[in-house]
Homo-oligomer: A and B are copies of this chain.
């Protein structure tokens, strides 16, 4: 038998629970709980409870409440890299929606590690969060397998491989790349290079295909020498562009994202090449970074913030109505034209 739980006075092992409050107020814990939750109680009793709670500095234990309520009020959001401004953009907008709903966002960085993401999904069934927004750049079979088993609702942002019955928001990378290429072509560029991210990521491979078809559609030759693949980072943009310049002389460079574009810009300027006069640059994602380089980056807006906002909203919808059929939404991209493609007064 456990030791008998008989209380004289108000000793509760230093822990203040609803029982402490009830004892001090001289009422049952049920009454205390009711008053504390604003559900009835006579004025006199309520006053006693409230004053007792105040006196001992009572704060309800969220864990216990969650166990009872079967929900935590926490929403997880997993992104590959919090150092990449595109994900900051997404998280920011998602956070808005989530916190407006009275919930809290639990941010998790996956480092783009597929195994880690799957592990996260598996652990997710542990119910620490009421739902998850998963932003992924690589999708494996394991993802698909586990996605259909997870106990809590998941919204995936990013393009999926097959036809998974899961809520999904994706950026139309193909249309985005096309916008960029058309912009280059219309301003007279003929040798358009592409410093892209890794081909074993979804955005990387989709953009590669889109680049090739857009270039071809513009009546230009597709030349593998004009293509570089590396990480989605500033360093990769810098290195990739240097390698590129060692073998060809493009008059325009499309970059896999804004971080890469910043690296490309840096490499060009360091080589004494004028931007945009000699070489034009377009980044992708249209993040805060695009505003802050000099010259400012023209960038394809793939609706990063909108994706975050929408993913959050879809998740809340599903929480409210679990039987909703899975939704797939895509965002229409647009081009934010700035100074790396069109010379402006500043230059």
Residues of A within 8 A of B (CB): 1-2, 57, 59-64, 66-67, 72, 74, 82-83, 85, 88, 91-92, 95, 104-109, 122-123, 125-128, 148-149, 151, 234, 259, 262-263, 265-266, 269-270, 288, 291-294, 346
Among the listed B122, B123, B293, which residue makes an inter-chain contact with A293, where contact means beta carbons less than 8 Å apart?
Answer: B293
B residues in contact with A95, CB < 8 Å: 109
Does the CB pair B293–A125 fall under 8 Å? no
Q: Which residue of B lies closest to A57 (CB)?
A: B149
B270 near A292 with CB under 8 A, answer no
Residues from chain B with Cβ under 8 Å of A88 in the complex? 82-83, 88
CA distance A123 to B234 in the complex (A): 39
B294 touches A127 (CB 8 A): no
Q: A286 to nearest B CB, angstroms?
A: 15
A1 to chain B, nearest CB (A): 8
- Contact between A292 and B263, CB atoms less than 8 A apart: yes
Cβ A270 vs Cβ B64 within 8 A: no
A265 touches B288 (CB 8 A): no
Contact B83 A82 (CB under 8 A): no
Chain copies in complex: 2
What residues of B have a CB within 8 angstroms of the CB of A123 in the complex? 59
Interface residue from B263, B266, B294 paired with A266 (Cβ < 8 Å): B294
Instruction: Assess A265 versus B294: contact at CB under 8 Å? Given A72-B63, A88-B82, A127-B63.
Output: yes
Q: Are A126 and B62 in contact (CB under 8 A)?
A: yes
From B63, B85, B105, B294, A294 is in contact (CB under 8 Å) with B294
**Closest residue on chain B to residue A1 by CB atoms:** B148
- B126 touching A59 by the CB < 8 A rule? yes
Are A151 and B292 interface neighbours, CB within 8 A?
A: no
Interface contact B67-A234, CB-CB below 8 Å: no
Tell me which residues across on chain B come within 8 A of A293, comparing CB atoms. 292-294
- Known contacts A104-B108, A269-B294; decide if A128 and B62 are in contact (CB<8 Å): yes
> Are B59 and A151 neighbours in the complex by a CB distance under 8 Å?
yes
B234–A291 CB distance below 8 A? yes
| B residues less than 8 Å from A104 (CB atoms) | 108
10 residue pairs, one from A and one from B, having the closest CB atoms: A107-B107, A62-B126, A59-B125, A270-B346, A269-B294, A62-B128, A234-B292, A266-B294, A63-B67, A63-B66
> In the complex, A306→B266 CA distance in Å?
28
